[in-house]
Amino acid sequence: MRSHTFHDRANINVEVVVASFSTGERRKRLRGDKRVLEFAATIKATFEPVIRTSLYPRSQIDIYVQVLQQDGSTLQACINATTLALINAGIPMTDFVCAVTGGVHSTSPMLDLTTLEENDIPHVTVAVMPKTKKVVLVTMETRLHVDRFEEILNLARDAGAILHQEMKEAVLSRSASLIAMAEPVTKGQSRADDDVIVD
Amino acid sequence: MVEITIRKRPRSEAVITQRKFFKKTARGKVIKVLRERYLRDDVGCGIHNCRECSEACTPSSSLLPESGAEHSLFPDGHFVLPDTNVFLSQMDLLESSLFRPPIILLQTVVEEVRHRSLPLYNRLKALMAMDDKSIWTFYNEYRSETAVVREENETPNDRNDRGIRKATAWYKEHLQLNNPPVRGKAPRKLPTFVLLTEDAANRQKAEKEGLVSLSVRKYVEGMKDSPQLLDLLASIEADEIEPTRAAGGKQILYSEYLPSATLISGVKAGDLHQGHFNANQYNYLEGSVSVPAFTKPVLLIGRENMNRATSGDIVVVEVFPDSEWKAPADEVVDQDSTLKNDDVESGDEDEAEDDIVTRTESKVTSSEKRSSEKQPTGRVVGVIKRNWRPYVCHIDSTSLTSINSTSLSVQTVFATPVSRLLPRIRLRTRQAPSLIGQKILVSIDRWDVTSRYPEGHFVRALGKVESKEAEQESLLLEFDVPYRPFGKAILDCLPKEGEQWVVPPKSDTSPEWREREDLRSVTICSIDPPGCQDIDDALHARRLPNGNIEAGVHIADVSHFVHADTPMDSEAASRGTTVYLVDKRIDMLPSLLGTNLCSLRPYVERLAFSAIWELTPDADIVNVRFTKSVIASKAAFTYEEAQIRKDDPNQKDDLTEGIRLLNSIAIKLKAKRMAAGALNLASPEVKIHLDSSESSDPIDVEQKELRETNSLVEEFMLLANISVAQKIQETFPQTAVLRRHMPPPKTNFEKLQDILQKRKGLTLDVSSSGSLAASLDKCIDSEEPAFNTLVRIMATRCMLSAEYFCSGSVARDTFGHYGLASPIYTHFTSPIRRYADVLAHRQLAAAIGYSPLHPSLHGKSHVERILDVVNRRHRMAQMASRASVEFYVGLALKGREERNKASGAGAVTEEAFVIRTFRNGLGVFVSSLGIEGLIMFKNDLQQFDAENYTLSIPAPSGPPVTISVFDKVVVRIEVEKDKNTQRGRVKMTLVSPIDSKNM
Ligand SMILES: [Zn+2]
C-alpha cells in the first residue's frame, strides 16, 4: 500500500465487501472477486475528482463499503452512502455526489430499481454533482437504444437534484445532533473520561 | 416532465408494504425473496362526481354512474363487486349484453383470475374494454385503506376474500363520507354495494360485517331479464340446483386426477410426462400426447385412458411398461354413429363402444407384424390446464324428452360440437325445443368422474343451421377471430377528413411531404387478383443509362396513419391479421384505411413506403434504398390483364415495357431462389364462384389458376421482404421483427417416404431443402400429371409452419426460412392486412432515420408478446379461411347435386386420390374440389395390409379389388345432414374401381 503514496495529494483506497447473506440467494463473494473489484474501482473513480485530495499530500483516505443487504440499485446506494460518510468524516469535497439508477420498462422510465426490475429491463446508473450539474459517472451493462438513453439520462440527472436536497437535510440534521452532543462534553468533563476508560 | 418525489416509508409500515418469504430452488438452494408494494391514497373509486377522488379517476369516460343501477332488491340503486369465482365460472353471464349493472372490479380479483386461468383472464380483459359495459377497475391492493396482508395461518384464498370484503366495506364508507348530510335537506338515499359470491361462508362473514352479499343466482333472479340470464348460469352450484337423477348411486367411470403436487414432482422426476392432448379426428376413442421424453407421441386408447382430457388441454400422462405398448388403431371410429342411442339422463352405459375398444385392441395385439409401429402407450393422470372455450354445437334432437315448443321446463340434452375433436357436451336448458336446428354456443363447466360426458351450459344461439349469418359467426367463434365492429375510440384515430382525405399539395411545410420522395411521375402500376380492394403494393421498373435496371416496390404507408400506442394500433395488434372468408373480410384496420387511404388505387396520389433497387440485367442487386414517397399509380391490373398486356407484341407503351422488364427480372430472381434450394410447395387451392354479391350462392368451384404475373409479383415481394429484413436486423439486432421457417424434423417425413418407397419405388431425400426440392421434382408418374402435385401437398403437410419472431430472442443461426431458402426474411409488403408488416414499417422508418422508433419497439419482451398474438391469429385465420372454403364447397356440391337430380344425371362424381388407408375405410383427396374425404365400409369383409397400405375388397363377382395409397379412384360425393343434429357433412362412396354404396 505504501507504494501508492503521492507527494502532492492523497491516495484514495476503496474496499468493498459484499456480505454473503446480503442477496436473496446466499452467495460467497471473495475479496478478489472481479465484480467486487470493479465496483470498488468505479467508486474510486467517481470520488477522485470530487474529493480535494491535494489538501492531504502523502496520505491515504480509506473508504470501506460493506454491503449488508441489497435489493437492486446497489452502486447507487454505495455512492450515496460514501458521499454522506465522507461529509460526516469532515473530508473536504467540491460537491455532493448523488447517484441514481434509471431504467425503462416498455415506454415508461423508472428510477431506483429493485433487483427484480434490474434483471428485466435495461438500466443505467448515473452520478451527478448537483451544484455544477456535472455528471461524474455513467455506467450501463445492458443494451439501451440511444433515444431512450437520452431520456433516462435526463431523468436521472433531475433525480440527482432531488436526492441532493434529501442528503443535504440529512447532513444538516446530523450536524445539528453532533453539535448538541458536543455541548454536554464541555460541561461535564468526567463523562467523557469514563468513556475513555471503558474503551 | 414527471415530478420526482422520494417516498420514504417508515420501518413500521414494512409489515404491509413488504412481503418476505423463502423459497427452495430445484437444486436445493434457499432463496430469500422480498417484494415491496407502494401504497397510496390517491387511487380513485371510479364513481361519477365523487368529491374526493375526481382527480384520481381517469379516464373519465369509464366512470360509473353516481347512483348505480336499479334492481328489484335495491330501490336506491346499487353497484356490484363480483368475487373471483364469479368471473371464473360465470363469464358468459357477465358477457351477456343483458347483464349491465355497474361493476366494480377489484385488482385482487383480476390478479386471481389471471393466476387461475389465462383464457378467462383474456376474456375478462376484453370485457373491460367493451363499450357497453360499465366496469371500473379499483386497485384495492395499492390503496392504503384497502390493502390487506396475509395473516398467519390464513390461506391465500381467505386472504383474497377478506380483501374483497374490505374493499366493499371501504366503498360503503367512502360514499357516506363524501355525501355528508346537508342541514335542511333530506339525506340522499345512497346506493348499495353488493358483494357477489358463490361462497356461502364468505357471504356469512360479509353479512356479519354489515355488508350486502348475494349469490349470483339470487341476484340474477331479481333482474329484469332473468329468464334469459338464468340460462347462462354455469352449472357450478351443484347443491343449489336439484340433484340429477340417481346422483347418489352414480358409478365412477374415470379415475380421479392425482393431486397437482404429485403431478409436478412426477414430471420433474421423469416418472410422468406433460404435454398437449391431441384428439384423433378419425377415431374418437383415441388420442395422443407428444412429450419430450419420447420421439413418438404417447398413445391413449379408450375413454378411461384419455380420462376426460379434451383437445388442447395440457395434461400429465403415465406411460405403461413396454409390454403394454400398442400401435394406433387402423380403423375409423365415428362418435355419431356409435353413440346414437346413448341416453342423456343415465347415459352412461354403452356396450357398443366398449365393444369397439376391445375389438380394436384385440386386433392390434394379435397383429404381431405391426409391432414395429408400436408406440408408447399410457393414460392421463392429471390435467394441468384446461383449454376449454365456448364451442359451436348442434343440439341432438333425439336427446330431448319433450319437444313441445312451448315447454319451458329444464331439460338435459346433448350438444354435439362442430369440431370432431370434441366429445358431446351434456347441458341443461329451458329453451331446448327452440334450439333444435340452430347453431348454438356452449361452454363446458366441468367433467366429473361419474359422468361420461362433460357438462356445460348454453351461452347463446347463433342462428339457423346453414343460414349464412350463423355459419359465418360460428366459424369466426370456432377460430377465435375478433369480429366486433371497430369502436369509437378506434375510429377517432382516423384522419378527420375521412373519405375526402387527399395528399396535400407539395410544400416544404406540409408534414405529409417531410422527407418524402416525389415519385408521382414514375410509371407505377399494381397487379392484384380481380376485385381486390385493399391494394397494398405497386411496382415499377425502368432501364438506367448505365444499362442496369431500377426496380421499385411501393407499399402503402400504413404507419403514417396508424401510430404506435393508439387505440387503433392496439386493436390492430390484437387482431393481428385480416381474415378472408369466402363471402366476408374481417379487417384488421378500419376499412377507410384498407380500401381507401392506404389502398394504392390508380390515378390518385397516395403515400407509400418504397424499396428501390438497382439491379444488373442478371438480377444481381447493385444497391437498395428505402424511402417514404408519394406515388400516383398509373394502372391497377388483374393478373390476367397484366399477362395479356405483356404477351401482346403490339403494346409498346411504358407500362407494358415496365411489366416486361419486371417479368424478365422476376424469372431470373426465381431461378436464383430455386438454385439456392427453395421449395416449390403446393396446397390445395380452389376458388369459389359466387352467383352475385347479394345472394352469394356459390355456383361452382374451380382450381385457382396461376399465371406468370402471379409469380412476377411474388418474386418482387420476396425481394422486398428480404431486403427489409436485412436492413432492420442490422439496425435493431435485438428487436427486429422477422419471420422464419424452421427446417422440419426428419422423422416427419418417415411415413411419406415409406409410402412412396413401397407404392411407387420413389425416394425422398429430406437432408436439405434443396435436396428435397430436387427429389420432389423427380416424383413423377408419367401417366398421372396430378401425382406430383399430390406428393407436394403431402410433403407440405409434413413441414412446420412459418412464424414471426423477435431477432434478439432466438439464436442467429435459426433465422433462416426453409421453404424460401433465404437466410433472413420478414413481412413488409402487406401492412394493411398483417400487423407484423406494420411493425416492420416502423422499424424500417426508424432505420432510415425518418422517424424515431417508438419506445415499445425497443423492448424485446414487448415485441415477443405482440408476435405471439400475431402468430396465433395468423394460424387461426388460415384455418378459418379453409373452413369457410369447405363450407362453400359443401354448398356448391349440394347445388350440383340438386341440378343433377333435376336433369336426371345422378349423383356428383369426381376423381380422387387415395391418401390414407384404414382397416375399414379410405382417406381420399379430391383435387378438383380441394377437399379431403373419408370412405367407410360398414361390413367387415375387406382385407387390410397395413405394411403395404393396401386394402383388398371382395367384389360381388370376380377376384377381390385392391386399392392402395396413391391409387386414383372415382368417388360419389353426397351432402347429407345428420338427422339428429342437422349438422351437414360430406359423404363419399366409391364408384370405381368398385361401387361401395352398399358396403
Ligand atoms: Zn371516491
Read off the CATH number of the domain in which A15 is found: 3.30.230.70
DSSP state string for B858-916: G-HHHHHHHHHHHHHHHHHHHHHHHHHHHHHHHHHHHHHHHHHHHHT--SEEEEEEEEE
Query: Residue B918: inside a domain, yes or no?
Result: yes
Least confident residue range of B44-58, B199-213, B522-536, B624-638: B44-58
List pLDDT tens digits, range B91-101: 888 888 888 88
Q: What is the number of other CB atoms lying within 10 angstroms of the CB of residue B498?
A: 11
Residue A95 above 90 pLDDT?
yes
**Under an 8 Å CB criterion, which residues of B touch A?**
1-2, 4-6, 29-36, 565, 734, 852-856, 858-859, 861-862
Give the pLDDT of residue B6: 81
Does residue B699 contact residue B689 with C-beta atoms inside 8 Å? yes
CATH number, domain of B361, equals 2.40.50.690
CATH code of residue B987 = 2.40.50.140
* Element spanning B777, H or E: helix B769-778
Average pLDDT of span B267-279 = 87
Residue A2 scores a pLDDT above 60:
no
User: Is A174 in CB contact (< 8 Å) with chain B?
Assistant: no
Which chain A residues have a beta carbon less than 8 Å from that of B565? Answer: 107
Note the pLDDT of residue B891: 78
Smallest CA–CA distance from A144 into chain B, residue: B858
Min Cα–Cα distance to chain B from A160, Å = 10
Q: Is A71 on the interface with B (CB under 8 A)?
A: yes
Residue B906 has pLDDT above 70, yes or no: yes
The pLDDT of residue B237 is above 50: no
B114 SS3 class: helix
| Share in percent of chain B as helix, strand, coil (round to 5) | 35, 25, 40
Nearest alpha carbon to residue B690 among B496, B892, B883, B516 = B892
Tell me, what's the pLDDT at B342?
57
> Is residue A6 domain-resident?
yes
Average pLDDT over residues B66-84: 87
From B193, B218, B233, the end of a domain falls on B233
- Residues B811-826: pLDDT tens digits? 888 899 988 889 999 9
Compute the average pLDDT of residues B505-531.
89
Amino acid at position B9, single letter: R
Q: Is residue B591 part of a domain?
A: yes
Identify the DSSP state of B192: E
User: Is residue A15 situated within a structural domain?
Assistant: yes
Determine the Cα–Cα distance for residues B549 and B553; give it in Å rounded to an integer. 13
Phi then psi for B861, rounded to 5 degrees? -65, -35
Q: Report strand pairing: B425-429 vs B455-464.
A: parallel
Residue B636: half-sphere exposure toward Cβ, Cα within 13 Å? 17
| pLDDT score of B695 more than 60 | no
3-class SS shares of chain A: helix, strand, coil, % to 5: 45, 25, 30
Exposure of B666 by Cβ count < 10 A (0-12 exposed, 13-18 middle, 19+ buried)? Answer: buried
State the Cα–Cα distance between residues B163 and B138, nearest whole angstrom.
Answer: 12
**A148 lies within 8 A of chain B by CB:** yes
Which chain B residues have a beta carbon less than 8 Å from that of A148? 855, 858
Average pLDDT over residues B904-921: 82
Of B34, B36, B853, Cβ closest to residue A145: B853
Predicted ipTM > 0.85: no
Q: Mind telling me how many Å the CA of B115 is from chain A's nearest CA? A: 19
Domain extent for B215: 68-233
Beta-carbon separation of B29 and A143 below 8 A: no
Contact B627, B555 (CB under 8 A): no
Report the C-alpha gap between A87 and A46 in whole angstroms.
15
| Cell output for A165 | 436536497
Residues B543 and B662 in one domain: yes
What's the whole-number mean pLDDT along residues B111-119?
Answer: 83
CB B313 within 8 A of CB B383: yes
Distance from the Cα of B594 to chain A's closest Cα (Å) equals 28
Q: Which of B431, B432, B402 is nearest to B414 (CA)?
A: B432
- Domain identity same for B910 and B850: no
Tell me the percentage of chain B whose pLDDT exceeds 70: 89
Whether residues B11 and B158 share a domain: the answer is no
State the pLDDT at residue B686.
Answer: 67
Asked if the structure places residue B59 within a domain, the reply is: no
Which residues make Cβ contacts (< 8 Å) with residue B782, sequence separation at least 6?
A: none
Position B551 pLDDT exceeds 80: yes
Give residue B105 CA to ligand 1 midpoint distance, Å: 15
Same domain, B532 and B598: yes
Structural domains of chain B, count: 6
Residue B44 belongs to a domain: no
Question: A59-76, pLDDT tens digit by residue?
Answer: 999 999 999 988 889 999
What's the rounded Cα separation, in Å, for the pair B343 and B367? 35
Q: Does B49 fall in a domain? A: no
Residue A103 lies in a domain: yes
Rounded average pLDDT over B896-907: 78
Alpha-carbon distance values, B587 to B18, B473, B581, B802, B831 (Å):
47, 15, 11, 22, 12
Tell me which chain B residue has its CA closest to the CA of residue A23: B32
Residue B404: the pLDDT is: 61
Torsion, Cα of B157, B163, B165, B171 (10° steps): -160
Same domain, B658 and B631: yes
B997 vs B865: which has the higher pLDDT: B865
Mean pLDDT of B262-291: 86
Residue B586 has pLDDT above 80, yes or no: yes
Burial class of residue B341, CB neighbours in 10 A (0-12, 13-18, 19+): exposed
Give the closest of A120, A148, A159 to B855, CB-based: A148
- Report how far ligand 1's centroid is from the alpha carbon of B83 (Å): 21
In this structure, the answer to whether residues B688 and B759 fall within a common structural domain is no
pLDDT digits (tens, 9 = 90+) for B673-690: 888 888 876 666 666 666
Burial class (CB in 10 A: 0-12, 13-18, 19+), B653: exposed
> Does the pLDDT at position B565 exceed 70?
yes
- CB contact at 8 A, B875 and B867: no
> Residue B335 gets which letter from DSSP?
H
Which residues, in sequence order, are CB contacts of B942 under 8 Å at separation 6+? B919, B920, B951, B952, B953, B954
Q: How far is the CA of B57 from the centre of ligand 1 (A)?
A: 8
- Closest alpha carbon to B752 in B782, B785, B784, B796: B796
Q: Tell me the longest C-alpha to C-alpha distance in chain B.
A: 108
pLDDT for residue B730 is more than 90? yes
* Together in a domain, B843 and B912: no
Q: How many CB atoms neighbour CB B491 within 10 A?
A: 14
pLDDT band per the 50, 70, 90 thresholds, residue B371:
low
Q: What's the mean pLDDT when you consider all of chain B?
A: 83
Say whether B32 and A25 touch across the interface (CB within 8 A).
yes
The separation between the first and the last C-alpha atoms of chain A, rounded to the nearest angstrom, is 29
A195 found inside a domain: no
Q: Please report residues of A whose CB lies closer than 8 A to that of B31.
A: 24-25
B17: CB partners within 8 A, 6+ apart: B9, B36, B37, B38, B39
Whether residue B565 and residue A107 make contact (CB cut-off 8 A), yes or no, is yes
CA distance B543 to B498: 39
Tell me the per-residue pLDDT of B1-56, one tens digit each, with 9 for 90 and over: 567 888 777 777 777 777 778 888 777 788 888 777 878 888 888 888 888 877 77
- One-letter identity of residue A135: V
Q: Classify residue A150: in a domain, yes or no.
A: yes
Q: How many CA atoms lie within 13 Å of B630's alpha carbon, on the beta-carbon side?
A: 18
pLDDT score, position B963: 85
Examine the fold and report which residue of B878, B894, B922 is the final residue of a domain before the chain moves on: B878
Q: Is residue A70 part of a domain?
A: yes
The pLDDT value given to residue B847: 93
DSSP class per residue in B645-708: HHH-TT--SHHHHHHHHHHHHHHHHHHHHHHTT--------EEEEES-TTT--EEEEEEPP--H
Using CB atoms, pick whichever of B30, B33, B853 lies closest to residue A147.
Answer: B853
- Give the three cell numbers for residue B205: 362473514
Give the residue from B867, B875, B956, B925 showing the smallest Cα distance to B479: B875
- Which band of pLDDT confidence, cut at 50, 70 and 90, is reported for residue B194? very high
Say if B182 falls within a structural domain.
Answer: yes
Check if A176 contacts B (Cβ < 8 Å): no
Distance from CA of A111 to the nearest CA of B (A): 9
Helices A74-88 and A34-47 cross at an angle (nearest 10°) of 50
- All cell numbers assigned to B967: 391409387
Please state, as a whole number, how many other Cβ atoms lie within 10 Å of the Cβ of residue B761.
7
Is residue B283 in a domain? yes
Set of chain B residues whose Cβ sits within 8 Å of the Cβ of A107: 565, 854-856
What is the domain count for chain A? Answer: 1
Q: Determine the pLDDT at residue A65.
A: 94
CB A135 within 8 A of CB A127: yes
Phi, psi of B510 (to 5 degrees): -70, 125
> Is the per-residue pLDDT at B375 higher than 90?
no
* Closest listed residue to residue B413, CA positions, set B231, B221, B237, B286: B231
A103: Cα separation from own chain's centroid: 19
- Nearest Cα of chain B lies from the Cα of A46 at a distance, in angstroms, of 24
Give the pairing of strands B931-936 and B921-926: antiparallel
Separation between Cα atoms, residue B373 and residue B296, nearest integer Å: 10
Strands (E) located in B396-520? 411-417, 425-429, 438-446, 455-464, 517-519
Distance B961 CA to ligand 1 centre (A): 82
Instruction: Render pLDDT for B124-181 as a digit per residue (tens, 0 to 9).
Output: 888 888 777 889 999 998 888 898 888 888 888 899 999 999 999 999 999 888 887 7
Together in a domain, B359 and B279: yes
Question: Do B854 and B933 belong together in one domain?
Answer: no
Q: Which domain holds residue A98?
A: 2-180
> DSSP letter string over B348-393?
---HHHHHHHHHHHHHHHH-GGGGGG-B-BEEEEEEEE-----EEE
Chain A CB contacts of B2 below 8 Å: 109, 155
pLDDT at residue A94, as a whole number: 93
Same domain, B537 and B651: yes
Q: How far is B2 from chain A (nearest CA, A)?
A: 9
* CA end-to-end distance (rounded Å), chain B: 80
Residues B713 and B750 in one domain: no
Adjacency order of strands within the sheet including B961-964: B943-945, B950-953, B961-964
Q: With 80 as the cut, is the pLDDT of residue B785 above it?
A: no
Q: Bin B210: left if φ > 0, else alpha if -120 < ψ < 50, else beta.
A: left
Question: Distance (Å, rounded) from C-alpha B92 to C-alpha B81?
Answer: 17
Do B670 and B777 lie in one domain? The reply is no
Q: Answer yes or no: do A24 and B861 touch at CB < 8 A.
A: no
Q: What is the CATH number of the domain that holds B164?
A: 3.40.50.1010
Sequential DSSP letters for B950-986: EEEE--SSSSPEEEETT-EEEEEEEEEE-TTT--EEE
Q: Which of A24, A120, A162 sits opposite B4 (nearest CB)?
A: A162
Q: Is the peptide bond before B102 cis (omega within 30 degrees of 0)?
A: no
Most confidently predicted of B63-77, B558-572, B957-971: B558-572
